[in-house]
Amino acid sequence: MDCISNKDYRDKNYRKEIEKYVRSHLSDKRWNHTVNVVSEAEKLCQMYGGDIEKCVTAAIFHDVVKELPNEELNALVRKFGFDEKYIDSPNLSHGKIAAALLKHEWGIDDEDIINAVSYHTTGRAGMSKTEKIVFIADAIEPTRVYNGVEAIRKATYEDLDRGCLKSLTDTVEHLKEKGVSYIDEDTLRAREWFEEQIDDFRKERDGNHMNSKDYALLATETLDSKKAEDIIIFDIAEKSSIADYLILATGLNERSVGALIDEVEDRLAQEGLLVKSIEGKKESGWILMDYGDIIVNVLTAEKRDRYNIEKVWADCNTLSWEVKGNE
Percent of the chain with pLDDT over 70: 93
- pLDDT value for 307: 82
Torsions phi, psi for 113 (to 5 deg): -65, -45
> What's the pLDDT band for 12 if we cut at 50, 70, 90?
confident
Q: How many CB atoms lie within 10 A of CB 167?
A: 26
3-state helix, strand, coil in the chain (%, to 5): 55, 10, 35
CA nearest to 18, candidates 97, 148, 106: 106
Mean pLDDT along residues 57-73? 96
Which of helix, strand or coil describes residue 89?
coil
187 has a pLDDT exceeding 90: yes
- pLDDT value for 196: 84
- pLDDT value for 206: 54
Convert the pLDDT of each residue in 208-267 to its tens digit.
567 889 999 999 999 999 999 999 999 988 877 778 899 999 999 999 999 999 999 989
Sheet of 277-279: strand order equals 277-279, 286-290, 294-300, 245-251, 229-235, 317-318
| C-alpha dihedral sign at 155, 157, 162, 168 | positive
Higher pLDDT, 314 or 143: 143
Higher pLDDT, 263 or 278: 263
Convert the pLDDT of each residue in 193-202 to its tens digit.
998 887 665 5
Percent of the chain with pLDDT over 90: 61
Mean pLDDT along residues 89-94? 94
Q: Return the CATH fold of 212-318.
A: Beta Polymerase; domain 2 (3.30.460)
Distance CA 134, CA 54 (A): 10
Mean pLDDT along residues 281-286? 79
- pLDDT value for 111: 95
> What's the pLDDT band for 327 if we cut at 50, 70, 90?
very low
Which amino acid is located at 206 in the chain? D
Mean pLDDT for the chain overall: 89
- pLDDT value for 5: 44
The model's pTM is 0.67
Q: Are strands 294-300 and 245-251 parallel, antiparallel or unpaired?
A: parallel
Distance CA 164, CA 219 (A): 23
Convert the pLDDT of each residue in 99-156 to its tens digit.
999 999 999 999 999 999 999 999 999 999 999 999 999 999 999 999 889 989 988 9
Domain 12-202, CATH class in plain words: mainly alpha
205 has a pLDDT exceeding 60: no
Higher pLDDT, 326 or 116: 116
* Residue spans per domain, the chain: 12-202, 212-318
Mean pLDDT along residues 30-44? 96
> What's the pLDDT band for 3 if we cut at 50, 70, 90?
very low
